[in-house]
Structure 1
Amino acid sequence: MNHFIQVTEARQIIEKNIFRTKKTELPLLETLGFYTAEAVYATIDVPSFDNSAMDGYGFIYVNPKNKGWKIIGEVSAGHSAHALKVGEGEAVRIFTGAPIPGGVDTVIMQEKVEVSGGFVSFDYSAVNKGDNIRHRGSQTEKGELILPENTFISHSVIGFLAGFGIEKITVFEPVKIGLLYTGNELVEVGQPLTDGKIYNSNAYTLQAALAEINQRFSLVKHVEDTAESTFTAIEDALGQVDVLLITGGISVGDYDYVKPSLEKLGVEELFYKIKQKPGKPLFFGKLKQKYVFALPGNPASVFSCYHQYVKPFVLGCFGREDFYKDEDWAVMETTEKKKNKQLTLFLKARYSHGKVRVLNGQESYKMNSAAQANCLMEFPDGIEEIKAGEKVKIWKI
């Protein structure tokens, strides 16, 4: 049984269980924020024809003794140049993006020429043969690999693919995820807050966090703190989703019914409890091809466990290859100490220009520091003190 394991071991177990969602073909503009499920190859040469990189004059680079070149025509972007044939001593007015007429092997920019009486002249030493021509296929040749599988599709990727006239691509489908949040003390936002109650923030945190990575909950439900309600809710949810998140009820209190319900349903325990703070009583399990993350109920624990474990797992299923992509390094601005060196701490922090500053308010019930944080600073096990100026691992959020 993997009980009370180290952070590194928990990561390894989660990464090992990543699965890929189904493939689907979508129109190009609908793929923003997805990952490619298949390699993409160039459908055409880009550029698809030789064209000018400058506004200027095209000519044949052969006779440096010429004092002037006769202008025989003009070609602009979007127009054919097939009717033009340039000979020695001749030039053609040409604009950026316009096709190169036959015979032309060099373009000189307009700022370097003088035009008079239908002739163009310039200092021959100011230009080299082949200048300012973008040759067909100089960016990409037809059939060339342009995007490997598992590439994140950003706005720049969409623009890049549009340049090939690609209308649809194959991507991984979003993960089918459900959320059950436990706690009789929870009140929904917009409702009056009565004695002994608190507002439900975890569901909002997780829904917003998933939206940031192009995911949505297909199921969200509040579960009463009873054995029957908990068991029924988990059983129903596992029949509808591939990944189930549960907040609260996973510890060993009198009203914690999540773990007994998971055991009764036959969910395989992959690990339970991690030597970390916050978020020690984290459960990760599997039922056939369904996965369960049971997170502690404290908001800061949910926040930390999501970024450390849930997010990389979900993105891995969605097509991201690097489980540790959010990892980085920074220099500590202050000295930090901890009481229990056996635990790994994830401290909410601010990172800027290579330096990181740990924020106040690290207790598991406090979210003011989370609202200010842009990273989690990892204070690894086995170490009691990190001094200012030392290099530390951070996780971008």
Structure 2
Amino acid sequence: MDQYISACEARKVIENHIFPTGKITVSLLEAQGFYTAEPIWATLDVPSFDNSAMDGYGFLFEDLTHFTKLKVTQVIPAGISGKNPVLGRGEAVRIFTGAKIPEGVDTVVMQEKVVRNGDCIHFNFDEVKKGENIRLKASQTRAGTVITERSTFINHALIGFLAGFGIEEVTVHQRLKIGLVFTGNELVEIGKPLSDGEIYNSNRYTLQAALAEVNHRLSFIKHAEDTEEATFSAIKEAFENTDVLLITGGISVGDYDYVKPALEKSGVAELFYRIRQKPGKPLFFGKLNDKFVFALPGNPASVFSCYHQYVKPFLLGCFGRKNFDEDQDLAVSASYARKKNNEQTQFLKAFYSGGKVQILTGQESYKMNSVAQANCLVEFPENATEINIGEKVKIWRI
């Protein structure tokens, strides 16, 4: 293949190779950060009985045409089991929020509107409407209906919602086993002193932290020396332990770039190699049987951009997310930008707020200061050479 494709074409190739991970059943709290693998049905009516929406007094609305005041005959707090006694004509109950509505009551007046003298209450009848302040049985959800669709992201709000049905376990998509092979003899781990010509390995930490944000972790990490044998050996070992392999560095065409030959030697089928984009032109996507590999450039900003544009949507698609372009949005540019090459798509680090996006300085692929400030990427598309202030642009939230 060995030919450039567009960013749009690359996304489509990746989207077409998304595969669903297996299913596992986990406890409700353990499900946070996962996607549902099956629909979830309501196990009961919610509310499961008519109950009061207020602290107040319950009565039969029709009695207001026959009585000038009502007599309080009983008190009904929330959580009392058993059948409540039937209310007589001209009678009212003192009732509290969440308490079951007894027979003979169809309206509740809030306590703030009531004047009570001994056992009797009176209030402005004209201010009360029939049926008010009562939560009717199944007014939220009827038992047996679908309450959560498949491929729904599980956050704390959904967990609280499901807990209201007494649901203890949820079937979700499994995490992917993700491996990382990073190349570059110049890379040194944090905590060790640097010698001349060495740099700290920021890509590993960028990717580990990015994966943690989408509820994943690296199950395999290997630093491959810049030799073809070491690179091949690391890739071979990684494929034995992962579903998706990420590689940083060594994918270009320099004298010490051994990743592509090692992938070919490993039997990886190339799905594409090299995109008409900046940063991250030498990006490789391939497949070995039922396993996939992304070989990313080594420059930190390129790794960052390629992860958000291609790797993250693929991983989340396999993990259960439905929309490949879910992170895409539109904003009004607060900056002017220009590029010479209209055949490339550029992804510019930017900061989005209040509907407007500010393109940051320091866009070079080795600069990380703009990465640290960015909360989105502005897509500067092919066949465009300028972005003008006030122009609507496509952004990708990160």
Could you say what secondary structure the match of 2:180 adopts? strand
| 2:325 corresponding residue in structure 1 | 324
Mean CA deviation greater in 7-16 or 332-341: 332-341
- Measure the CA separation in 1 of the matches of 2:336 and 2:344: 18
Following TM superposition, by how much is the alpha carbon of 1:118 offset from its aligned partner in structure 2, in angstroms? Answer: 0.6
Following TM superposition, by how much is the alpha carbon of 1:81 offset from its aligned partner in structure 2, in angstroms? Answer: 6.1
| 2:298 corresponding residue in structure 1 | 297
Following TM superposition, by how much is the alpha carbon of 1:84 offset from its aligned partner in structure 2, in angstroms? Answer: 2.1
| 1:64 corresponding residue in structure 2 | 64
| 1:272 corresponding residue in structure 2 | 273
Aligned AA (1:302): V
Could you say what secondary structure the match of 2:274 adopts? strand
Following TM superposition, by how much is the alpha carbon of 1:254 offset from its aligned partner in structure 2, in angstroms? Answer: 0.6
Aligned AA (2:264): E
* Matched length: 397
- Measure the CA separation in 2 of the matches of 1:221 and 1:115: 76
| 1:221 corresponding residue in structure 2 | 222
Following TM superposition, by how much is the alpha carbon of 1:83 offset from its aligned partner in structure 2, in angstroms? Answer: 3.5
- Measure the CA separation in 1 of the matches of 2:164 and 2:379: 42
| 2:212 corresponding residue in structure 1 | 211
Which TM-score applies when normalising by structure 1? 0.99
Aligned AA (1:272): Y
| 2:202 corresponding residue in structure 1 | 201
Aligned AA (1:144): T
Contact 1:41 1:143 in 2 (8 A): yes
| 2:13 corresponding residue in structure 1 | 13
Following TM superposition, by how much is the alpha carbon of 1:275 offset from its aligned partner in structure 2, in angstroms? Answer: 0.3
- Measure the CA separation in 1 of the matches of 2:122 and 2:81: 25
| 2:140 corresponding residue in structure 1 | 139
Q: What are the Cα deviations for residues 165-199 of structure 1, in whole angstroms up to 9, with x where unaligned?
A: 00001000011100000000000000001100000
Following TM superposition, by how much is the alpha carbon of 1:64 offset from its aligned partner in structure 2, in angstroms? Answer: 2.6
Runs of 4+ in 1 over 4 A off after TM superposition: none
Following TM superposition, by how much is the alpha carbon of 1:131 offset from its aligned partner in structure 2, in angstroms? Answer: 0.6
Contact 1:340 1:384 in 2 (8 A): yes
| 1:43 corresponding residue in structure 2 | 43
Could you say what secondary structure the match of 1:314 adopts? helix
Contact 1:23 1:172 in 2 (8 A): yes
Q: 1:2 to 1:121 in 2, by over 3 A?
A: farther
Contact 1:31 1:153 in 2 (8 A): yes
Following TM superposition, by how much is the alpha carbon of 1:127 offset from its aligned partner in structure 2, in angstroms? Answer: 0.8
Could you say what secondary structure the match of 1:63 adopts? helix
Q: What are the Cα deviations for residues 330-350 of structure 1, in whole angstroms up to 9, with x where unaligned?
A: 001121100111100000000
Aligned AA (1:30): E
Following TM superposition, by how much is the alpha carbon of 1:80 offset from its aligned partner in structure 2, in angstroms? Answer: 3.0
- Measure the CA separation in 2 of the matches of 1:274 and 1:116: 81
Gaps of 5+ in 1: none
| 1:123 corresponding residue in structure 2 | 124
Aligned AA (1:3): Q
Aligned AA (1:347): L
Which TM-score applies when normalising by structure 2? 0.99
Contact 1:81 1:100 in 2 (8 A): no
Mean CA deviation greater in 60-69 or 114-123: 60-69
Could you say what secondary structure the match of 2:147 adopts? strand
Aligned AA (1:132): N
Following TM superposition, by how much is the alpha carbon of 1:207 offset from its aligned partner in structure 2, in angstroms? Answer: 0.1
Q: 1:55 to 1:81 in 2, by over 3 A?
A: farther
Aligned AA (2:253): V
- Measure the CA separation in 1 of the matches of 2:71 and 2:372: 68
Q: What are the Cα deviations for residues 193-238 of structure 1, in whole angstroms up to 9, with x where unaligned?
A: 1100000000000000000000001001111000100001101111
Q: Percent identity?
A: 64
Q: What are the Cα deviations for residues 59-118 of structure 1, in whole angstroms up to 9, with x where unaligned?
A: 001133421101000001111362421122000000001111111110010111110021
Contact 1:186 1:197 in 2 (8 A): yes
- Measure the CA separation in 1 of the matches of 2:337 and 2:255: 36
Could you say what secondary structure the match of 1:274 adopts? coil
| 2:253 corresponding residue in structure 1 | 252
- 2:361 is the alignment partner of 1:360: yes
Q: What are the Cα deviations for residues 244-299 of structure 1, in whole angstroms up to 9, with x where unaligned?
A: 00000000011100000111111010000000000000000001110000000000
| 1:75 corresponding residue in structure 2 | 76
- 2:163 is the alignment partner of 1:162: yes
Aligned AA (1:339): K
Could you say what secondary structure the match of 2:323 adopts? coil
Following TM superposition, by how much is the alpha carbon of 1:123 offset from its aligned partner in structure 2, in angstroms? Answer: 1.1
| 1:104 corresponding residue in structure 2 | 105
- Measure the CA separation in 1 of the matches of 2:47 and 2:293: 49
Mean CA deviation greater in 264-273 or 81-90: 81-90
- 2:57 is the alignment partner of 1:33: no
Aligned AA (1:140): T
- Measure the CA separation in 2 of the matches of 1:156 and 1:385: 42
Q: What are the Cα deviations for residues 135-167 of structure 1, in whole angstroms up to 9, with x where unaligned?
A: 111100100100010000000000000000000
| 2:396 corresponding residue in structure 1 | 395
Gaps of 5+ in 2: none
Contact 1:82 1:102 in 2 (8 A): no
- Measure the CA separation in 1 of the matches of 2:141 and 2:84: 27
Following TM superposition, by how much is the alpha carbon of 1:17 offset from its aligned partner in structure 2, in angstroms? Answer: 0.2
Contact 1:184 1:225 in 2 (8 A): yes
Following TM superposition, by how much is the alpha carbon of 1:124 offset from its aligned partner in structure 2, in angstroms? Answer: 1.1
Contact 1:348 1:377 in 2 (8 A): yes
- Measure the CA separation in 2 of the matches of 1:68 and 1:322: 60
- Measure the CA separation in 2 of the matches of 1:347 and 1:33: 28
Following TM superposition, by how much is the alpha carbon of 1:2 offset from its aligned partner in structure 2, in angstroms? Answer: 6.0
Contact 1:180 1:223 in 2 (8 A): yes
- Measure the CA separation in 1 of the matches of 2:43 and 2:271: 45
Could you say what secondary structure the match of 1:3 adopts? coil
- 2:238 is the alignment partner of 1:237: yes
Could you say what secondary structure the match of 2:4 adopts? strand
Aligned AA (1:75): I
- Measure the CA separation in 2 of the matches of 1:287 and 1:199: 31
